[in-house]
Amino acid sequence: MTAPSSLPTGPVHVVRDDAEALAIARRLAADFAVGASERDRQRRLPFEEIERFSASGLWGITVPRAFGGAAVSHATLAEVTALISEADPALGQIPQNHYCLVDAVRLIGDAQQQKFFFREAIEGRRFGNAVSESGTANAKVVTARLRATPEGLRLDGRKFYCTGALFAHWVPVAAKDEQDKQVLVYVAREAPGLEVVDDWSGFGQRTTASGTVTADSVAVGALQVLPRAQLFEPPTIHGPFAQVLHAAIDLGIGRAAMADLHHWVRERARPWPDSGVARAADDPLTLARIGRLVIQQHAAEALLERSGRALDRARDEPGAEHVTEASIAVAEAKVLSTEFALEAATALIELAGTQSTLAEHNLDRHWRNARTHTVHDPVRWKPHAVGNHWLNGASPQRHASI
């Protein structure tokens, strides 16, 4: 096995509990917010910020306590993600894959794999993502292959939307083995034959480096191969776990738009002449629009916290019923966080006025980020899942949404 040669650049803190995780996230978010707009404008990839972020210990907070982690509540993890995403949603999205792939080790790793990869996470090694492929019939199709050769296991394939891979020490690749079963292959970032290409050109989430990963006859060992096919049999929280983090990223984007909206309407915007008021902040129609957004934000926050608690229960008391409850709760949160992020980003430009569209302010980044991130999966299917469960008792489809 080729192990990562690049180590974290400094000591890595170990977070002990939920309160400490939230306190660290708030401090980091305040610093990450400075320069976030310029990073977006210049598409400057956040290598320095990622090093500081992972060294803070926040990337290890989902590791089980038995392996030295804090095993924080999913509600805490969601709020940590929302706090960082409010400062810079690219920094919120990059570790989303890491958390999911650490949790995959918990769900389907054997004792030896858990001991090894949990230690890697605690010591500051980052897990990237090479799961999705482009140009296939649908997002669930996997063409990458793991094959046995006289020289050992070899991995081949091409992936896209590989958020986190460029910053990672390990790049888990979704593939099929020779029995056509899906596997996750945790490949060292520097392994010969593995190439990470920064060709992401999305108009939003511009600094996530969500580009291409190719594997050309990459040598791997048995310790690096996990049975991805078992992620959902029996039912597990893997799908809603990924989705609650996506919802948290959207909530953070919406909060950031609301913060700019507060400043612009109070300090910069002009009232419409027909309003009869001297300040835009006193325009009754503006106040009503903002009031609805505030209600949306608070509702999204409440549903996100509720879904985190449902995930806690499904993690601690595994079973189909609890997994379904968590999946539905997360779906509800995902619908509201998506709508809130898009509407807040749109209302910012509408209520702040024409001057807010000037490139020098870069306020359009909130909408670009929200619109790009919220097409990660079709939120239009979430109300169907919620309604079908409520009316017919149906369980939602289980997806590995990373």
Res 227 pLDDT > 80 = yes
pLDDT tens figures, 110-154: 999 999 999 999 999 999 999 999 888 887 889 999 999 999 999
Res 222 pLDDT > 90 = yes
Res 3 pLDDT > 80 = no
Res 223 pLDDT > 80 = yes
Q: Which fold has domain 238-392?
A: Butyryl-CoA Dehydrogenase, subunit A; domain 3 (1.20.140)
**pLDDT band (50, 70, 90) for residue 234:** confident
Architecture of domain 18-122: Orthogonal Bundle (1.10)
Predicted pLDDT of residue 139: 77
Res 372 pLDDT > 80 = yes
pLDDT tens figures, 285-307: 999 999 999 999 999 999 999 99
Question: Mean of the per-residue pLDDT values for the chain?
Answer: 95
Q: Within a 10 A sphere around the Cβ of 189, how many other Cβ atoms?
A: 22
Res 8 pLDDT > 70 = no
Q: 145-230: which CATH number, 3.30.420.60, 2.40.110.10, 3.40.50.1220, 1.10.10.10?
A: 2.40.110.10
pLDDT tens figures, 31-90: 999 999 999 999 999 999 999 999 999 999 999 999 999 999 999 999 999 999 999 999
Predicted pLDDT of residue 233: 85
Angle at 167 between CA 162 and CA 170, to 5 degrees: 75
The arithmetic mean of pLDDT across residues 19-26, rounded, is 98
**CA atoms of 125 and 102, how far apart (whole Å):** 11
Predicted pLDDT of residue 5: 52
pTM: 0.96
Least confident window among 107-116, 132-141, 154-163, 225-234: 132-141
Predicted pLDDT of residue 252: 98
Predicted pLDDT of residue 377: 84
Predicted pLDDT of residue 9: 61
Res 382 pLDDT > 70 = yes
pLDDT tens figures, 175-199: 999 999 999 999 999 999 999 999 9
238-392 matches 145-230 in CATH topology: no
For the chain, what are the domain ranges? 18-122, 145-230, 238-392
Predicted pLDDT of residue 138: 84
